[in-house]
Amino acid sequence: VASLAALLDEICAMTAAETDRGQVSHAIAALAEQSDRRFAIAVATLDGETLSAGDAGMPFSIQSVSKILTLAMALGRIGDQLWSRVGREPSGSPFNSIVQLEHERGIPRNPFINAGALVTTDVVLAGGEPREAIGALLRFARMLAASDDIFIDANVARSEAQSSDRNRALAHYLKAFGNLDNEVERVLGVYHHQCALAMNCRQLARAGLFLCLGGRIPGSAAPIISPSRVRRINALMMTCGLYDGSGDFAFRVGLPAKSGIGGAIVAIVPGRAAIAVWSPGLNPHGNSVLGIRALEHLAQRMNWNVFATDTLDRT
């Protein structure tokens, strides 16, 4: 653990020196204000400890990382029926593409592209009030991270709502194919707030632990979701978690992960640890440039890679 702490500091120093830091997203006004100098990394281990370096106490909107939470909640509500409404395949297209939706008649390729997350949000909303769904999501995030400090960033939520035409188009398109039960504006209301879920890196790493530990939260007795479902969420993160950069990330890092355009990435080391990184500069696929580089370095040094084959690695 001493060496892990030192490694995180080393990674932090390494990223500070990087000149190629990507582009901060201008998709919404509230994100455009972020500085590309920001960097944070945190690792939560199974024994309850969380190590971190950089701006690890600074909250940020987790954006599409929240799609993991909505997926888990949607599966909790309707189970495998979900898969009649959303696929499990990489799309081969950008996160906000509408092309595939036309060709495949309103069934999004997977729950981690925007169209798919609108469907899981629709399932979570389930005819109820948007504020209730948002509340349930916030409670779920707080429980996972064991922290009451997690909040919805109202400024970000407002900004999302002001730049939502493309997501609104996706939602109406889903509706046109009968794949949205609630009213579009109500689904978007929830969607904008879940994107605005604000955490710091330490909280986000802890929130990922349930995916490392068979669905259990450290300290709790019963799993909140079944081990087999956890494996499947991890599998989806591996093949689809970084949009059309997922293959490259699997190749370079070898861990299930989910990114957001705010610059966050959460990565899972099954049976070991959860990692969160945050740095707002993005590559053309919408994934944090320094985040990926940090994860690549950390995973390599710790030999954390689900495809690692040395028996020595496993002891």
Q: Which residues bind a second copy (CB under 8 A)?
A: 46, 87-93, 97-100, 102-103, 109-110, 165-166, 168-173, 175-176, 211-215, 227-228, 230-232, 234-236, 238-240, 244-248, 250-252, 254, 256, 270-271, 300, 305-311, 313-314
For residue 250, the one-letter residue type is A
> Hey, what are 32's tokens?
């455009």
Residue type, 272: R
Helix residue ranges per DSSP H, the chain:
2-16, 29-32, 66-78, 99-103, 114-125, 130-145, 154-162, 165-176, 184-195, 201-207, 227-240, 246-252, 289-302, 311-314
CB of 31 to a second copy, least distance (A): 16
- The CB-of-151 to a second copy minimum distance in angstroms stands at 28
CB of 197 or CB of 212, closer to a second copy:
212
Tell me the closest approach of the beta carbon of residue 235 to a second copy, in angstroms: 4
Residue closer to a second copy (CB basis): 4 or 169: 169
Q: Where are the alpha helices (DSSP H) in 177-270?
A: 184-195, 201-207, 227-240, 246-252
Q: Is the dihedral of CA 4, 36, 211, 219 positive or negative?
A: positive
Q: Closer to a second copy at the Cβ: 184 or 264?
A: 184
- If the CB atoms of residues 135 and 284 are measured against a second copy, the closer one turns out to be 284
- Nearest distance, CB of residue 191 and a second copy, angstroms: 14
Residue closer to a second copy, measured from CB, 37 or 105: 105
- For residue 263, the surrounding DSSP H or E stretch is none
Smallest gap from Cβ 71 to a second copy, in A, equals 12
| Listed residue (290, 300, 285) closest to 248, CA to CA | 285
- How many helices, marked H, and strands, marked E, lie in the chain? 14, 10
CB of 1 to a second copy, least distance (A): 17
Is 102 or 148 the residue whose CB approaches a second copy more closely? Answer: 102
